[in-house]
Amino acid sequence: MPVKAFGLDWHGHASGWQITQSFIVAIYGLAYCLSLCQPRIFIHLGINMPIDAISKTKQGYVQELLETGLPLFSIVITCFNKKEYINEAIESALSQDYDHLEVIVIDDGSNDGSWDIIQLCSTKSHKICATRHLHGRNNGVSASRQLGVDLSRGHYILHLDGDDKLLPGRLKHDAEIIDQFPSCTSVISRTRYFHQDFKSGTRELCNAEEMVDSIVPVMNRLYGTYELFLLCVYDLDKGEADFRGLPCVGAVTTRKDIARSVPWIRGVSCAEDIGYFARLLMQPRIFYSSECLSEYRLTTQGAWFQAMANNTETFWQEFTKRQVRYFALDVEPQLLLDAQKRLQEMHEPRMSPSEL
């Protein structure tokens, strides 16, 4: 008895032409359904898709991202023996005047009770995901940050050290920039540095000239491909690294697809952020803001202080310089020359996205 399917009569067997027609009709039907669902369906399915492929409607770009049901921001906090400070770092994330976030706290094998505090914090908010490495191992800060990236669900990722802080308004500020410039790959803001002795309860800002970083001459604008790389870490004329300033870990918000394409280098115990940011600053359409929206705590437990204490500072300086030069040599020279020319021609404090 014949069976009706796709407008065709099917008997015990079908001709090649009937089968072909059936597939054509099915493909057209699938294409029509996908056109109605909008590109955001791919995000729900976990399929990586260029963020620019999501249509921009009158309701706003950020709002459209939020309709995927995923948080806009994933804040990855890493901790190794930061018992005195970790609660403050977590609270600085949770107290943001922006609701669409998740906080992923990675304990990197702490043995001072930090993990107990992290677990306690996680019971107070459903926005916190607390975890650590298998068997509570100490795998290093790079492995911990990468684990946070792998676990994240947000569209944008922020990293924060367990003894640093986000300042009020940080996420709201970044969301507004993202909404204004949907194609930007990262938002970088400024950082305030301070010393703190937890035991004595004192908190002291650094000297005025060091209190707030300012790593670029022109702020509140989008920077094009390789421009920040040349401004911050590489002298093209000399062909060598030249560290004029790098953003702090907690000052950078990065689109998830970019964060995944620039992995943290594991096994590096000092200055691991220099290699990471050197590659991140090569990306196109990075917005640099004049707002100071994070705090960086200077302590004697920091990696650079430890390097100076055990006389390995020179080694790490040379290591990072070689890293940066290697990254530069991997780029087509004309692209770096073009970026340098754009910087030399820069006069206005802002550049429209169409110019990048």
> What is the band of 205 on the pLDDT scale with cuts at 50, 70, 90?
low
Helix axes 86-94, 114-122, angle to 10 degrees: 20
**Residue at 268: amino acid letter:** V
| CA angle centred on 73, ends 295 and 151, rounded to 5° | 105
**Which residue bears the tokens 């309709």?**
67
Q: What is the pLDDT of residue 114?
A: 97
pLDDT at 47: 33
Range with lowest mean pLDDT among 157-171, 203-217, 281-295: 203-217
Confidence tier at 320 by pLDDT (50, 70, 90)? confident
- Residue 85 reports pLDDT greater than 70: yes
Place of tokens 């921001």: 73
DSSP 181: -
Poorest-confidence range of 131-145, 183-197, 211-225? 211-225
The model carries a pTM of: 0.78
Angle, helices 272-280/313-329, rounded to nearest 10 degrees: 20
Q: What pLDDT sits at residue 288?
A: 95
Which among 163, 4, 141, 170 has a CA at the least distance from the CA of 72? 170
Return the structure tokens found at 229: 């790389």
The residue type of 30 is L
| DSSP conformation letters of 102-167 | EEEEEE-S--SSHHHHHHHHHTT-TTEEEEE-GGG----HHHHHHHHHHH--SSEEEEEETT-EEP
Q: Which of 26-30, 60-64, 284-288, 352-356 has the lowest mean pLDDT?
A: 352-356
- With a pLDDT cut of 70, the percent of the chain lying above it is 71
Quote the tokens at residue 301. Answer: 């437990």
Q: Is the pLDDT of residue 2 over 50?
A: no
Taking the CA atoms of 149, 293, 187 and 286 in sequence, report the sign of the dihedral they define: negative
Judge whether residue 57 has pLDDT over 90. Answer: no
Number of neighbouring beta carbons within 10 Å of residue 286: 28
Provide the mean pLDDT of the chain: 81
131 and 83 in contact (C-beta within 8 Å)? no
Q: Which residues neighbour 274 within 8 Å (Cβ) at sequence distance 6 or greater?
A: 233, 243, 246, 320, 323, 324
Structure tokens at 341: 């020319």
List pLDDT tens digits, range 11-47. 444 455 555 555 554 554 554 444 334 333 333 333 3
Count the Cβ atoms, other than its own, within 10 Å of residue 159.
26
